[in-house]
Amino acid sequence: MKTIFFNSNQVVTCRGSHSKKGSEMSDVGLVDNGSVVIEDGKIVWVGQTDDLESIFDMKNYNIIDCKGKIITPAYVDSHTHLVFGGNREDEYAMRLKGASYMEIMEMGGGINNTVRATRQESEDFLYEKALKRLDSFLRFGVTTVESKSGYGLDFDTEIKQLKVNKRIDENHIVDVVSTYMGAHSVPDEYKGKEDQYIDYMIDKVLPYVVSEELATFCDIFCEKNVFSIEQSRRLMLRAKEMGLGLKIHADEIYRLGGAELAAELEMKSADHLLKASDQGIKDMAKSGVVATLLPITAFSLKEEYARGRFIIDNGGAVAIATDYNPGSCHSHSIPLMIALSTIYMGLTIEEVLNALTINGAAALGLEKITGSIEKGKNGDILIHDCPNYKHISYNISVNTVEKVIKKGEIVYNRV
Ligand SMILES: [Zn+2]
């Protein structure tokens, strides 16, 4: 299959093949009047349309006319909890009436509610539900998604979730990166014995996850009254020794020092960071940890937003992700996320585009494979029905994606 995505107004390449930090995030690698050539799933050329005919014999190619439109890399959503049982619409309705997340937890809601439902539902049922969710991610232009376990906590259910991750990756167009997050919450049977739960994950679960190749990353909810810095360090160090990449839910509700820990252990990403200290943010920038910000969660919980502007101004690399999950953020709306990132976190549209593409890929260790339009990378691109890239944020909370291309093939077409 050889295709030319021909004669667009602009190609936003986000080129660099590495995470973009600080002022680098202002550069989207723009090519005016550009075309993209994809052969056998890989990008072989990107440049100005005027140069195309002297290089390629057009009649040998399938031509997709992009006149009046723009091309960007496909989006990478590097933080989701998309495999889960049940739903929590009643809790959401209670929150709208003023109940706090903590009050809902005390009434048996929260993560425990989803844990019960996820334990009950079969692997096949969870798989079918997850496939449908991925269909919807795809329509927003997302062709790579990270998916965490953490709604089982016990051995069987955590493994069930990770197996679903593997199956959806194999059987859906969207690529799925699997993360083991048994340390999402303390299960009832280990309340007050958090250290023993960490031991159990290290001794029993991680070896199985690694030997069966069920996850690429290990993640932990490092938070007051959940897992401490020391417990997080212990689990993460062991996961690293066993070859897993590291992620952390850091400094979301309390300033515990998760950002500093992420820098110390040179984790791939630290996520949330609403309360991260100045020093932690600077340490992360120095260590090359991607700051993954999740503004729809802050919006949904009416929290203060993470300091995206401050992180970039201090040389950090920012990715943005949906945090799609059944509780605090039942949304995977990329357009809403773009609106919140620009208006409330102070990012420019250029920074948002890098955050959603190359930096999302970098947060998953995939920056050499996807996330930008460069020779040799996967042909994962989007065609937007707008005349220039600024329209992507100017159309507030509107999906501008018209076509989604995965490895060179059109896998979604709105028109
Ligand atoms: Zn999360």
Distance CA(154)–CA(182), nearest Å, equals 8
Fold of 2-74+372-413: Urease, subunit C; domain 1 (2.30.40)
CA of 272 to the centre of ligand 1 (A): 8
What is the tally of helices (H) and strands (E) in the chain? 17, 18
Average confidence (pLDDT) over 190-215: 97
Average pLDDT over residues 383-390: 98
Give the strands of the sheet with 62-65, arranged side by side.
Answer: 42-48, 34-39, 2-6, 62-65
Q: What dihedral do alpha carbons 116, 248, 223, 299 form, nearest 10°? A: -80
Q: 149 CA distance to ligand 1 centroid (A)?
A: 10
The three-state secondary structure class of 49 is helix
What does the alpha-carbon distance between residue 340 and residue 270 come to, in Å, rounded to a whole number? 19
- Tell me how far the alpha carbon of residue 297 lies from the centroid of ligand 1, in angstroms: 9
Ligand 1 centroid to residue 323 C-alpha, Å: 5
CATH homologous superfamily, domain 76-363:
Metal-dependent hydrolases (3.20.20.140)
Give the mean pLDDT of 161-175. 98
| Cα-based angle 297, 303, 307 (whole degrees, multiple of 5) | 85
Q: Specify the pLDDT at position 52.
A: 95
Residue 365 CB neighbours (<10 A)? 16
Mean pLDDT of the chain: 97
Task: Give residue 298's pLDDT band: very low, low, confident or very high (50, 70, 90).
Answer: very high
CA 181 to centroid of ligand 1, rounded, Å? 9
Note the pTM of the prediction, 2 decimals.
0.97
Cα 348 to Cα 354: distance, rounded to the nearest angstrom: 10
Angle between the 334-343 and 349-356 helix axes, to the nearest 10 degrees?
140
Task: Dump pLDDT digits (tens) for 63-97.
Answer: 999 999 999 999 999 999 999 999 999 999 999 99
Report how far ligand 1's centroid is from the alpha carbon of 307 (Å). 18
Question: Ligand 1 mean position to 15 CA, how many Å?
Answer: 28
CA of residue 365 to ligand 1 center, whole Å: 18
Distance of CA 252 from the midpoint of ligand 1 (Å): 10
Phi, psi of 96 (to 5 degrees): -65, -25
Residue with tokens 């993954």: 292
Q: How far away, in angstroms, is 289 Cα from ligand 1 center?
A: 17
- Structure tokens belonging to residue 82: 């998309």
| pLDDT single digits (tens) 240-249 | 999 999 999 9
Q: Position of tokens 């896998």? A: 411
**Taking 90 as the threshold, does the pLDDT of residue 152 lie above it?**
yes
Q: Which residue in 350, 330, 349 sits closest to 393, CA to CA?
A: 349
Alpha-carbon distance 36 to 7, whole Å?
9
Biggest CA–CA distance in the chain, Å, is 70
Q: How far is ligand 1, taken at its centre, from the CA of residue 329, in Å? A: 9
Domain boundaries of the chain, sorted by first residue: 2-74+372-413, 76-363
User: Mean pLDDT, to the nearest integer, of 389-409?
Assistant: 98
**Residue 404 C-alpha to ligand 1 middle, in angstroms?**
26
Gap from CA of 300 to ligand 1 centroid (Å): 13
Kindly state the DSSP code that residue 198 receives in the 8-state scheme.
H
CA of 219 to the centre of ligand 1 (A): 9
Mean pLDDT of all residues in 251-274: 97
Token pair recorded at residue 279: 């020093």
**337: part of which helix (H) or strand (E)?**
helix 334-343
Gap from CA of 25 to ligand 1 centroid (Å): 24
DSSP tag of 107: T
State yes or no: pLDDT of 238 exceeds 80: yes
The Å distance, Cα 249 to ligand 1 centre, comes to 6
